[in-house]
Amino acid sequence: MAHISSTAHLPCAAVLCAFSLLFCAVSSFPVAPEGKQEAKCGYESCHMTKPGFLNVHLVPHTHDDVGWLKTVDQYFYGDRNDIQHAGVQYILDSVVDQLLKNPQRRFIYVETAFFYRWWKRQDEDMRNNVRTLVNQGRLEFVNGGWCMSDEAATHYSSVIDQMTLGLRFLNETFGECGRPRVAWHIDPFGHAREHASMFAQMGYDGFFFGRLDYQDREQRQMTLDQELLWRASDSLTPPMADLLTGILPNGYNPPEGFCWDQSCDDAPIRDDPDLEDYNVDDVVQRFIQTAKDQATVYKTNHIIMTMGSDFQYETALKTDDFFPYADDAHDFWTGYFTSRPALKRYERISNGLLQVCNQLEVLGGSSSRNGPFGKGDSHTMRKSLAVAQHHDAVSGTSKQHVANDYARRLSSGWSTCQVVVSNSLSALSGSTAPRVYCDNLNISVCSFTEASKQFTVTVFNPLGRPVLWPVRLPVNGTQYSVSDPDGKPVDSKVVPVSSSTRDVRKDRGFAVNELVFEVQAPPLGFSAYTVSQIQDQTGAKTETKTENKTGPNQGPTQIENKFLRATFDPDTGLLTGLINLETKQRIDLTQNFYWYNASDGNNSDSIQPSGAYIFRPNSSTPFIISKTAKTELVQTSVVQEVRQIFSPWASQVVRLYSSSRTLELEWTVGPVPIDDDLGKEVITRIDTSIKSGGVFYTDSNGRELLKRKKDFRPTWDLKQSEPIAGNYYPINSRAFIMDEENQLTVVTDRSQGGSSIQNGSLEIMLHRRLLYDDVRGVAEPLNETSDLFPEGLVVRGSLLLSLDPPKSAADKHRPLGQEMVLQPLLSFTEGAQETNTKLSKLFSTMEVLGFSELNLSANQWKKDMKRFDWTPKTEEKPEQKQFTDPSSWDVTLKPMEIRTFLLRVRI
């Protein structure tokens, strides 16, 4: 979010003293006399500082949202200035112009999505000028990813991809001088530990951010802890994930005339895109007093020269994260963890498709991009997905028309990627049969399978290990035979499409049944299954036993497979327990849907309403949607399910596939009613007999886990002012609660917010519909509707529950989370599969000639990666092994390591 102010200025040095090494800055001190030394980029191009003085570094920068109130292209071109006066192309034009006029000037630029657009439009003369500015360190890139990513709702793999896209463009364009030295996240609404870990592995020397909890900031100002060494991984060997981190003094007490937070309205700085309107001298004058004041709340006023040696950071080692973020007592930015749940899911599965597309683009060779099905590319999806990582995109905090633009971009990524997949499969199999994709299997829509009497399902598995995966296809027949790649029969069953699925799909599909079976696929490989209808009569009743049971003691009592049993109360239709049949573990477990009544902002404590960013329930007690569910039981050898209807806008299927070790809860929520004029934040809550005592665990960006404790923050004394919202944390892929005997893990299919408010309970927010804007700039209530759902958006998703002994569970849930992210891609062709699917010999066709290791974001060779070492002197430093020996092509990955290699191959 926030402020495309064309430029704003903030002080560093005294203020960012420890970081002065990391930055080039405009200061009041002269540079070396001209001609005496060659101009250089990097730290050597910095102005000199003066020993014994308070060095005030001004860092002119611009924060350009890759979509927020306007779309990314509207921001670039300066279109729709009626919404917000901002045009990034003019900012870059005038910045470059000003830099060229005066060699003393410096500027930092952050978002490569905009810079890339601008660069493409420049002629060779201008490009040469800009290369000079970059080579002399006068224009310096910081962060340099495609966008400044959101940190709560993003998955690490998409973050690495978007950083790689931006950073490799900068390296290709400018070489070493284009490589950013610091990561710069001045706007995201809270900070994830995994982001810090990734930035460290990308070779950044330091990290700056702007927003942290107001109580945390006060505390840090008192103890001079606004510079810290963040130890961002429990698993990686230090200093691999150590990152020197500086908290910028922006935010809530800006000096007059310097406010670049969107909550104030300093017109001269905020609204004018033309640098010539800025009076830097005036700005500096007013800053002197502020800089002096600010120096008192930072650890050092040391000068740049003595920096690296004098400090010890032991006391400021931080190992947790900066969530949740509150800017006041009743203003917790924990709503956006869930805002726009459909977009969050679309972003997540688009990431899966991109990985498939990348893999197949390589495997299929050059004809993947230009083959029998036309021109395809993975680049469209890569860019769309990179844009979607922005902190107003996947976060759900943009205006509705901008959210539509993000989804539209992803959708064009889907079509070009699907061409790549079709071309690649054609090259690999030798068949040019038209290939069909069904993007709405989640609501049982696929006109192809609905109509076809015989077809082949090709399953591509993007994971590096084999998967067993359930497939559900909309069909009209009642009996089918399914055979595996070897022609062996596969157990399959036909079950009726549920009433809630019919409601949500509307007239997008008409199939009456679903064909259910389990498929397997090898690591990074394919398998093909043939489906043949063996009964002509369509629309006939299926032989699958389904029963509608309502009324006292009429409901189902249990479903089970060989691993799990879920029990139900036959009176209420609700879950009552979960049993792991292998380990003989058993817990009481009830689950239901509730909604928090959103604050409208009209009360005496605070005028803060719930909105796109902020979660503020009117009361800590959520309302139950219904104490009972109408149930329907489906029991077959392939799948067992209890379909529960709680209300016309909340239903669920509790489902067990025959080979699954997890219980699926497939929820469907919406349209959330607002006819009572109350905004609603809908949660699913699982209450168990586990004695978790207010402790729960959530993942950070889909990787390592962090311990959360109710009403507690590890590094400061929390005064809890919002008992619910102040305990919400982002869940990217999984969360769990445990005691000595049992661990209940919940794997999510998208980013969501969640908490554990009661002992043994875990709640996850699924959907939000709000009637007021929360006054953080977006100026729209989060009230999602669409052409298909004019009465309010309906969203469907899945949670996977797993019950394990605490020790073994730790290893289990990360692969599960990965399976949700990198789901197999299904595609369909008419008729039976050709004998022996030719696809299996895939990998032997590629000969690896050599390889070199890169940093995590692939913009620097690993051997050239030299970060500043901030490790406290007292700590032992492990030998850093470099991967150099090309004769040994075995790479051993330590736990949680991700390594990046460039392979040279012959196809």
Ligand X SMILES: *[C@@H]1O[C@H](CO)[C@@H](O)[C@H](O)[C@H]1NC(C)=O
Return residues touching ligand X (CB under 6 A): 171-172, 175, 342, 346, 439-440, 442-443, 450-451, 476, 499, 504, 510-512, 539, 546, 548, 597, 599-603, 605, 618-619, 632, 678, 771, 781, 783, 785, 794-796, 854, 859-861
Cβ distance to ligand X smaller for residue 422 or 783: 783
From start to end of 83-173, where are the E strands? 107-109, 139-141
How close are the terminal C-alpha atoms of the chain, in Å?
45
Q: Side by side, which strands form the sheet with 492-496?
A: 467-475, 513-521, 492-496
Cβ distance to ligand X smaller for residue 143 or 783: 783
User: What is the C-alpha separation between 235 and 776, in angstroms, rounded?
Assistant: 37
Cβ distance to ligand X smaller for residue 493 or 796: 796
Cβ distance to ligand X smaller for residue 216 or 632: 632
DSSP one-letter string for 248-274: -S-SSSPPTT---STTS--HHHHS---
In contact, 470 and 520? CB cutoff 8 Å: no
Cβ distance to ligand X smaller for residue 306 or 603: 603
Of 65, 161, 187, 321, which residue is the catalytic one? 187
In contact, 92 and 118? CB cutoff 8 Å: yes
User: Who's near 509: CB < 8 A, 6+ residues apart?
Assistant: 440, 443, 444, 445, 446, 447, 450, 474
What is the closest distance, in whole angstroms, from the C-beta atom of residue 293 to ligand X in the complex?
A: 35
DSSP one-letter string for 428-479: HH------B--TBGGGTB-HHHHH-SEEEEEEEE-SSS-EEEEEEEEES-S-
Cβ distance to ligand X smaller for residue 53 or 861: 861
What is the closest distance, in whole angstroms, from the C-beta atom of residue 393 to ligand X in the complex?
A: 15
Judged on CB neighbours under 10 Å (0-12, 13-18, 19+), 255 is middle
* Amino acid residing at 390: H
What is the closest distance, in whole angstroms, from the C-beta atom of residue 696 to ligand X in the complex?
A: 24
User: What is the C-alpha separation between 5 and 231, in angstroms, rounded?
Assistant: 33
In contact, 538 and 476? CB cutoff 8 Å: yes
Active site residue 187: yes
Q: How many helices (H) and strands (E) does the chain have?
A: 16, 40
What is the closest distance, in whole angstroms, from the C-beta atom of residue 261 to ligand X in the complex?
A: 23
How many other CB atoms are there within 10 angstroms of residue 655's CB atom? 24
In contact, 341 and 750? CB cutoff 8 Å: yes
What is the closest distance, in whole angstroms, from the C-beta atom of residue 245 to ligand X in the complex?
A: 25
User: What is the C-alpha separation between 570 and 107, in angstroms, rounded?
Assistant: 68
Angle value at C-alpha 232, between 722 and 355, nearest 5 degrees: 95
Cβ distance to ligand X smaller for residue 186 or 445: 445
User: What is the C-alpha separation between 665 and 655, in angstroms, rounded?
Assistant: 6
* Amino acid residing at 319: T
Q: Is the dihedral of CA 236, 239, 240, 244 positive or negative?
A: positive
Q: Which residue is associated with the tokens 């192809």?
A: 448
Q: How many residues does the chain have?
A: 907
Cβ distance to ligand X smaller for residue 210 or 797: 797
Tokens read off for 786: 């669409």
What is the closest distance, in whole angstroms, from the C-beta atom of residue 706 to ligand X in the complex?
A: 28
In DSSP terms, 376 is beta-bridged to: none
What is the closest distance, in whole angstroms, from the C-beta atom of residue 247 to ligand X in the complex?
A: 30
User: What is the C-alpha separation between 698 and 440, in angstroms, rounded?
Assistant: 29
What is the closest distance, in whole angstroms, from the C-beta atom of residue 35 to ligand X in the complex?
A: 28
What is the closest distance, in whole angstroms, from the C-beta atom of residue 861 to ligand X in the complex?
A: 5
What is the closest distance, in whole angstroms, from the C-beta atom of residue 774 to ligand X in the complex?
A: 13
Cβ distance to ligand X smaller for residue 12 or 634: 634
What is the closest distance, in whole angstroms, from the C-beta atom of residue 428 to ligand X in the complex?
A: 25
Kindly give the pairing relationship between strand 139-141 and strand 107-109: parallel
Our measurement of the distance from residue 350's CA atom to the centroid of its chain's CA atoms, rounded to an integer in Å, reads: 11
Our measurement of the distance from residue 720's CA atom to the centroid of its chain's CA atoms, rounded to an integer in Å, reads: 27
Cβ distance to ligand X smaller for residue 366 or 619: 619
* Amino acid residing at 190: G
In DSSP terms, 471 is beta-bridged to: 517
The residue number with the shortest CB distance to ligand X is: 603
What is the closest distance, in whole angstroms, from the C-beta atom of residue 178 to ligand X in the complex?
A: 8
755: left (phi over 0), alpha (psi -120 to 50) or beta: beta
User: Who's near 698: CB < 8 A, 6+ residues apart?
Assistant: 705, 706, 708, 729, 730, 731, 732, 734, 735, 754
Which residue, among 467, 529, 449, 494, has the nearest Cα to 637 in the 3D structure?
Answer: 494
Cβ distance to ligand X smaller for residue 164 or 592: 164
Our measurement of the distance from residue 193's CA atom to the centroid of its chain's CA atoms, rounded to an integer in Å, reads: 13
Cβ distance to ligand X smaller for residue 572 or 742: 572
What is the closest distance, in whole angstroms, from the C-beta atom of residue 274 to ligand X in the complex?
A: 33
Cβ distance to ligand X smaller for residue 319 or 619: 619
Which residue, among 5, 41, 6, has the nearest Cα to 24 in the 3D structure?
Answer: 41
| b/e map 583-602, b = 16+ CB within 10 Å | eebbbebbbbbbbbbbbbbe
Q: Which residues are catalytic?
A: 187
